[in-house]
Amino acid sequence: MQQSLPISEIIQSRISRRNYLPEPLTHETITAIKQMFAAFSSGPLGTSLSFSLVSREDTATQKLKLGTYGFIQGARYFIAGQIQPSVIGFLDYGYTLEKLILEFTRMGLGTCWLGGTFDRGEFSKAIGLKEGFVIPAITPIGYASETRGIGERLIRLGAGSDKRLPHEKLFFDGNPSTPLLLPEGHPLESILKAVRMAPSASNNQPWRIVVDGNLLRFYISRKPGYQKAFSQVDMQMIDMGIAMSHFDLVARENGISPEWSISETTPMFEGLEYVISVFLPS
């Protein structure tokens, strides 16, 4: 347990874990996880969220197979939530599950966002998916093995998981042709560093932020054709929610209370889709 570590350090230390040890979670850990579900039952934009902890043992008796197409090895437990699909729902889901994931990281547990490589049909049965709802993404949870298997190393290499786009390709001053320059020690520096470390589907890092004084606008730079693979789930909108959570957590750690809102009228930029704004009171 790394109770005292600041959230900015937890963010820097989290990575996707795909190989797990056979040890079951302790009763205390299971209770703590379920208590967190209760505490994280709605997103910052108002979506009500329900998460389930599913174990292989329980689902085996129902003859369900919690498959991950070989991407995850040895995991006994998974967390899956359900929402009615909407932009706000995906933002809230990304924001909230990432906050949970960071708390689990603090507890020394391994996780890995999975949006594509899991058996949606079997997981839907395991959590009793309601009519009109979707599972946006899930995560295994457990004690990760110290060493990475060859499969995990190949997946990380394939996605370029250890790399992030440089600051100047993500954060802008007024418009996307002007990279944001920050004087050293500027309050935004640590906040944007945390956004840049966010996990994203296929490590596509679709988040772009345009700064306009105390108002920052989040835009999405979609990977062409990517959405086609996911039908009802807007995977890159989940990425945007994850970036919001990193922004929000580190801003609050620095004594700033971000105010989120979706504006009707915003500057439009080629290749970018407006998502949400955040106001930082001075």
Ligand X SMILES: Cc1cc2nc3c(=O)[nH]c(=O)nc-3n(C[C@H](O)[C@H](O)[C@H](O)COP(=O)(O)O)c2cc1C
Contact region for ligand X (CB under 6 A) — 102-110, 167-175, 233-241, 274-282? Answer: 233-241
**Binding to ligand X in span 209-228, by CB under 6 A:** none
**In the complex, what is the shortest distance from the CB of residue 79 to ligand X, in angstroms, rounded to a whole number?**
13
CA distance 44 to 60: 35
Answer for the pair 101, 42: CB distance below 8 angstroms, yes or no: no
Answer yes or no whether residue 143 interacts with ligand X by CB under 6 A: no
Each residue 244-263 as x (binds ligand X by CB under 6 A) or -, in order, gives --------------------
200 binds ligand X, rule: CB under 6 A: yes
CB contact at 8 A, 250 and 194: yes
The residue among 72 and 126 lying less far from ligand X, judged by its C-beta, is 72
Give the whole-angstrom CA distance, residue 96 versus residue 75: 22
Containing H/E element for 182?
none
Quick one: which of 102, 114, 195, 250 contacts ligand X (CB under 6 A)?
114
239: enclosing H helix or E strand = helix 235-253
Does residue 240 bind ligand X (CB under 6 A)? Answer: no
Does 79 engage in binding with ligand X (CB under 6 A)?
no
Minimum CB distance to ligand X, residue 205 (Å): 9
Decide whether 55 or 200 has the Cβ nearer to ligand X. 200
Contact status, residue 182 vs residue 190, Cβ threshold 8 Å:
no
Nearest of 93, 77, 210 to residue 139 by alpha carbon: 77
Binding site for ligand X (CB under 6 A): 15-16, 71, 112-117, 137, 155, 159, 161, 199-203, 235, 238-239, 242
